[in-house]
């Protein structure tokens, strides 16, 4: 008998349950796209443009075609049946770019694919590549966004009106007038250099076409399998039931695997044409030169404020160096427009003017990158806030406290139009401040002969965005819905299927915790299926900090619908009212009775045993529900960085890092900590190390990991993460998204800390990454004046 006074239904949500993925992924049992070996596979290598902007005069394929082991050599003329990739937008002042799957007539960035070679191995394909000559005529081009903006700049796309492919204006009140009349103002010109994602696993695609069934399976290292299926289906003229995109284990994306790439279209097409599996695995050189890139922005901004430090108005001119093409499906507006919309941040800034322009340059397309737009927005705003504090001789915490939206102000519509709701803006700052006071920094400063600096950054982000707004400004695609299908099969086992695509977010664990808790079974007994379009009608994937909110919300709704069926069936079996039936820890029971069965017995009664239940009571134990949060949830955080700079060598060392964050109800604190740690590490890269550089001709000069520096464990400081659950949002579960936040706050906090450490030198820290070498140059320039 289950005694109701003694039985406590186990809780799984909120518990630091160890990741269910770990035994597989940590012991080398993960199965990534490159691990999948199919017989008769042909391997692809691409010849990529070595010119930033040039006309293709001719390509000599003769020698390569006859090389032993070469299966086929392809150029743009072999893909005339595939329409160009076009990212359309609802935005006014937006020009669509046409991106052929292989460069046709002209190349527009170093790294653009020009020739595809299929061979019996990647080695042979590369041998063949070495035999191919491409004759280019270099064309005049403006390499930097500033040059490309100029009226007489050569156009990268002949058919477009100019290189400026998007422009959007934000205006609340009259910012120029308010600024002119304000008692105080601070300004700066800030820049964030280009970055790229650097996943451990490079992009990889394997297409397997079944001639008999006329069906294509595409194994794809992507975080948007649903979008890839829908668009490749469109481009190759296949119905959705003829193409199945499977994202197997995916070793990171950080945004880099979140767009549609020419290579995956070519892999899919060639598998059908050659009637054999086709595999392409990018190498590190290709990852660093031909996967989507990030940032590349310059912002000139002014913040006006009164004598108390209360913000009056903000004005910003934003230029985004968007690269050669507007990326599918997000468009080039994704990154720079979000800089403009998130610039006012979590502060009450009543008046705002922002103009953003996206400019085509001969560089790889920019695309999503963890944090999208907000790392730059927060960097600019938080630097301005610190400059304002310095000007008024106000503490860095106090000026933020005075301007952050308060609990009683929610919902607060920011001057860029974003609605912030119920999130611990003030509470995060307060918690961070307390943690800083325990570091005893004054004492540390006294004892040290190094320059020690402290930097704060506060931010808010919209996460789990619903169908009301697109995650990418102007993108005509619904990213605000997720569907869960949960079933109990004939053995009593629970399987939950989603359209999301985990690539490091631990969703197999967190969704199992949610389903387990709702149904009353152990998380490890729930099988989560995701990243496979065969199991979802519509699903766009995992990005934009959406999967916990949308996937988790759908999991709760669907579990509850299924639980009703479970209880109805059990009620019939027990001959009680369904409301008396409880579940927990794998049992279905009625308190204080002997009525108790497990899920296996329930399934047997429903599916197999034809005697126990009358036919009309044999419910199919499955449910499917969708969830759409319509608007979204507000996550917020305060970051603090403590840096130490060696005055002799200018080496910058992060000593401490503090994060106080409010992501609503924590599903699993271990997972949240992991996401914060990883996000901050990426932010450390943004702030101190990572920089894609191009020379005057548009040649990338950071094409290896010896040149493009990513943070390692040695660069990471001790980190404190403080979780706040202030008022929970009204969505099912009360979850908010938090996968990107670490990368959003860290760059600004570190920049402010470096600026604080060198404040006695009067240096402007207005460009990231800031490195010892750049500090040296800044100091040298200052001493010249």
Partner 1 sequence: MKPAAFEYLRPKTLADALAALDHEDAKIIAGGQSLLPMMNFRLVQPERLVDINQIEQLNQIEKTDTGIRIGALVRHAEAARSSLLAEHFPIIAKAMVHVAHVAIRNRGTVAGSMCHADPSAEWPLLVTLLDGEIEILGNSGTRSAKPFEFFLAPLVTEIEETEILTAIHLPLIANPCRMAFDEIAQRAGDFAAVAVGTLVCVEGNIFSEIRLCLGGVFDTPVRAFAFENALIGQPASVESIEAALPLVLKDLEPNDDIHASAAYRLSLVSALARRVLFDTIDEMM
β pairing state of 767-768 and 526-529 = unpaired
Q: Which is nearer to partner 1, 123 or 630 (CB)?
A: 123
CB of 127 to partner 1, least distance (A): 7
Residues in Cβ contact with 541 at an 8 Å cutoff, skipping those fewer than 6 apart: 222, 223, 224, 225, 226, 227, 247, 258, 499, 500, 501
Q: Which is nearer to partner 1, 596 or 710 (CB)?
A: 710
CB of 693 to partner 1, least distance (A): 6
Per CB under 8 A, which of residues 254..313 are in contact with partner 1?
283-285
Q: Which is nearer to partner 1, 73 or 91 (CB)?
A: 73
651 lines the binding site for partner 1 (CB under 8 A): yes
CB of 763 to partner 1, least distance (A): 15
Per CB under 8 A, which of residues 683..702 are in contact with partner 1?
689, 693, 701-702
What is the gyration radius of the CA atoms in the chain, in angstroms? 28
Residue 718 to residue 681: CA distance in whole angstroms: 11
Among 6, 211, 307, 706, binds partner 1 (CB under 8 A): 706
CB of 142 to partner 1, least distance (A): 22
Among 584, 715, 726, 759, binds partner 1 (CB under 8 A): 715
Q: Which stretch binds partner 1 (CB under 8 A): 417-425, 580-588, 598-606, 776-784?
A: 776-784
**601: exposed, middle or buried (Cβ count in 10 Å: 0-12, 13-18, 19+):** middle
| Contact in structure between 156 and 99 (CB atoms under 8 Å) | no
Question: 377 — phi, psi (to 5°)?
Answer: -60, -45
* Distance linking the first and last C-alpha atoms of the chain: 86
653 lines the binding site for partner 1 (CB under 8 A): no
Structure tokens at 445: 């400063």
CB of 124 to partner 1, least distance (A): 9
Q: What beta strand segments (E) does 148-248 contain?
A: 164-172, 184-192, 195-196, 204-210, 215-220, 243-246
Q: Degrees (nearest 5) of the Cα angle 405, 411, 417?
A: 85
Among 127, 131, 73, smallest CA distance to 102 is for 73
CB of 43 to partner 1, least distance (A): 10
Neighbours of 723 (CB within 10 A): 17
Residue 186 to residue 668: CA distance in whole angstroms: 42
Among 158, 616, 648, 696, binds partner 1 (CB under 8 A): 648
Q: Which is nearer to partner 1, 127 or 508 (CB)?
A: 127
CB of 401 to partner 1, least distance (A): 36
Among 27, 151, 714, 783, binds partner 1 (CB under 8 A): 714
Residue 330 to residue 474: CA distance in whole angstroms: 9
Question: 191 — phi, psi (to 5°)?
Answer: -140, 150
List the strands of the sheet with 587-590, edge to edge: 581-584, 587-590, 596-598
Q: Which stretch binds partner 1 (CB under 8 A): 252-260, 594-602, 646-654, 724-732?
A: 646-654
User: HEC states along 9-70?
Assistant: CCCCCCCCCCCCCHHHHCCCCCCEHHHCCCCCCEEEEEEECCCCCEEEEEEECHHHHCCCCE
Per CB under 8 A, which of residues 753..772 are in contact with partner 1?
771-772
Eight-state DSSP code of residue 460: E
Question: 404 — phi, psi (to 5°)?
Answer: -60, 145
Structure tokens at 196: 């790229």
Q: Which is nearer to partner 1, 83 or 772 (CB)?
A: 772
Per CB under 8 A, which of residues 480..519 are in contact with partner 1?
none
Say how many residues touch partner 1, by CB under 8 A: 29
Per CB under 8 A, which of residues 107..136 are in contact with partner 1?
122-123, 126-127, 130
Q: Which is nearer to partner 1, 139 or 650 (CB)?
A: 650
Q: Which stretch binds partner 1 (CB under 8 A): 192-200, 357-365, 422-430, 649-657?
A: 649-657
Residue 271 to residue 269: CA distance in whole angstroms: 5
Q: Which is nearer to partner 1, 63 or 409 (CB)?
A: 63
Eight-state DSSP code of residue 327: P
CB of 242 to partner 1, least distance (A): 33
784 lines the binding site for partner 1 (CB under 8 A): no
CB of 50 to partner 1, least distance (A): 14
Q: Which is nearer to partner 1, 407 or 705 (CB)?
A: 705
Residue 574 to residue 4: CA distance in whole angstroms: 17
CB of 771 to partner 1, least distance (A): 6
407 lines the binding site for partner 1 (CB under 8 A): no
Q: Which is nearer to partner 1, 581 or 768 (CB)?
A: 768
783 lines the binding site for partner 1 (CB under 8 A): no
Q: Which is nearer to partner 1, 213 or 785 (CB)?
A: 785
707 lines the binding site for partner 1 (CB under 8 A): yes
CB of 446 to partner 1, least distance (A): 23
Q: Which is nearer to partner 1, 246 or 688 (CB)?
A: 688
Residues in Cβ contact with 329 at an 8 Å cutoff, skipping those fewer than 6 apart: 87, 227, 231, 259, 260, 472, 475, 477
Q: Which is nearer to partner 1, 126 or 725 (CB)?
A: 126
Among 9, 55, 189, 776, binds partner 1 (CB under 8 A): 776
Among 1, 150, 490, 777, binds partner 1 (CB under 8 A): 777
711 lines the binding site for partner 1 (CB under 8 A): yes
Residue 502 to residue 512: CA distance in whole angstroms: 13
Question: Around 576, how many Cα atoms within 13 Å sit in the side-chain half-sphere?
Answer: 18
Q: Which is nearer to partner 1, 18 or 693 (CB)?
A: 693
**596: exposed, middle or buried (Cβ count in 10 Å: 0-12, 13-18, 19+):** middle
780 lines the binding site for partner 1 (CB under 8 A): yes
Q: Which is nearer to partner 1, 36 or 779 (CB)?
A: 779
712 lines the binding site for partner 1 (CB under 8 A): yes
Residue 547 to residue 501: CA distance in whole angstroms: 9
Among 431, 434, 409, smallest CA distance to 422 is for 409
Site of interaction with partner 1 (CB under 8 A): 122-123, 126-127, 130, 283-285, 648-651, 689, 693, 701-702, 706-707, 709, 711-712, 714-715, 771-773, 776-777, 780
């Amino acid at each position: 008998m289950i005694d109701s006074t003694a039985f406590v239904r186990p809780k799984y949500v909120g518990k630091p349950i160890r990741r269910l993925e770990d035994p597989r992924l940590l012991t080398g049992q993960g199965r990534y796209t490159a691990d999948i070996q199919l017989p008769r596979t042909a391997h692809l290598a691409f010849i990529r443009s070595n010119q930033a902007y040039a006309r293709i005069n001719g390509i000599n394929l003769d020698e390569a075609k006859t090389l032993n082991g070469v299966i086929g050599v392809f150029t743009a003329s072999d893909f005339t049946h595939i329409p160009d990739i076009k990212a359309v937008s609802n935005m006014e002042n937006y020009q669509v770019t046409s991106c052929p799957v292989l460069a046709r007539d002209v190349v527009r960035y170093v790294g653009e694919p020009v020739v595809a070679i299929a061979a019996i191995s990647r080695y042979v394909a590369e041998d063949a590549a070495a035999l191919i000559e491409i004759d280019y005529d270099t064309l005049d081009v403006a390499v930097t966004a500033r040059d490309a903006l100029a009226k007489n700049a050569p156009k990268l796309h002949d058919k477009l009106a100019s290189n400026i492919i998007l422009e959007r204006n934000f205006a609340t009140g009259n910012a120029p007038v308010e600024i002119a009349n304000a008692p105080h103002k601070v300004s700066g010109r800030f820049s964030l250099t280009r970055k790229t994602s650097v996943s451990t696993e490079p992009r990889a695609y394997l297409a397997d076409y079944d001639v008999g069934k006329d069906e294509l399976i595409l194994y794809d290292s992507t975080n948007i399998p649903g979008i890839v299926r829908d668009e490749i289906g469109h481009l190759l003229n296949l119905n959705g039931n003829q193409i199945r995109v499977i994202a197997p284990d995916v070793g990171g994306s950080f945004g880099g695997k979140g767009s549609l790439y020419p290579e995956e279209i070519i892999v899919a097409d060639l598998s059908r044409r050659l009637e054999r599996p086709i595999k392409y695995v990018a190498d590190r050189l290709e990852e660093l030169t031909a996967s989507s890139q990030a940032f590349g922005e310059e912002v000139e901004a002014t913040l006006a404020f009164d004598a108390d430090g209360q913000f009056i108005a903000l004005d910003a001119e934003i230029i985004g160096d968007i690269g050669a093409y507007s990326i599918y499906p997000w468009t080039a507006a994704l990154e720079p427009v979000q800089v403009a919309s998130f610039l006012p941040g979590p502060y009450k800034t009543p008046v705002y003017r922002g103009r953003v322009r996206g400019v085509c340059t001969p560089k790889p397309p920019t695309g999503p990158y963890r944090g999208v737009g907000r790392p730059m927005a927060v960097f600019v705003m938080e630097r301005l806030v610190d400059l304002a504090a310095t000007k008024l001789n106000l503490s860095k915490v106090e000026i933020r406290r005075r301007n952050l939206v308060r609990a009683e102000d929610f919902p607060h519509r920011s001057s860029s139009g974003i609605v912030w709701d119920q999130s611990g803006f003030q509470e995060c700052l307060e918690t961070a401040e307390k943690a800083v006071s325990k570091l005893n920094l004054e004492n540390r400063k006294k004892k040290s002969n190094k320059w020690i600096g402290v930097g704060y950054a506060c931010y808010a982000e919209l996460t789990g965005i619903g169908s009301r707004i697109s995650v990418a400004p102007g993108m005509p695609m619904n990213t605000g819905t997720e569907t869960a299908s949960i079933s109990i099969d004939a053995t009593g086992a629970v399987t939950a299927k989603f359209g999301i695509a985990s690539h490091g977010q631990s969703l197999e664990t967190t969704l199992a915790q949610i389903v387990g808790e709702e149904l009353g079974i152990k998380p490890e007994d729930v099988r989560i299926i995701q990243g496979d379009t065969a199991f979802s009608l519509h699903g766009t994937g995992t990005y934009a900090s959406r999967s916990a909110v949308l996937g988790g919300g759908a999991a709760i709704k669907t579990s509850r619908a299924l639980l009703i069926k479970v209880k109805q069936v059990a009620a019939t079996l027990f001959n009680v009212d369904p409301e008396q039936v409880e579940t927990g820890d794998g049992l279905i029971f009625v308190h204080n009775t002997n009525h108790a069965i497990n899920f296996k017995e329930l399934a047997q009664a429903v599916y197999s045993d034809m005697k126990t239940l009358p036919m009309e009571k044999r419910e199919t134990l499955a449910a499917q529900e969708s969830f759409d949060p319509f608007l979204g949830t507000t996550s917020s955080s305060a970051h603090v960085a403590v840096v130490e700079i060696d005055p002799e060598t200018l080496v910058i060392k992060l000593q401490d890092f503090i994060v106080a964050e409010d992501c609503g109800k924590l599903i699993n604190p271990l997972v949240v900590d992991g996401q914060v740690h990883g996000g901050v590490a990426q932010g450390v890269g943004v702030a101190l190390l990572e920089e894609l550089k191009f020379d005057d001709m548009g040649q990338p000069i950071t094409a290896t990991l010896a040149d493009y520096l990513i943070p390692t464990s040695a660069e990471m400081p001790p980190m404190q993460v403080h979780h706040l659950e202030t008022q929970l949002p009204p969505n099912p579960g009360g979850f908010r998204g938090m996968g990107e936040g670490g990368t959003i706050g860290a760059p600004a906090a570190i920049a402010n800390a470096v600026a604080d450490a060198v404040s006695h030198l009067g240096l402007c820290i207005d460009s990231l990454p800031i490195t010892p070498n750049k500090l040296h140059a800044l100091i040298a320039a200052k001493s010249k004046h």
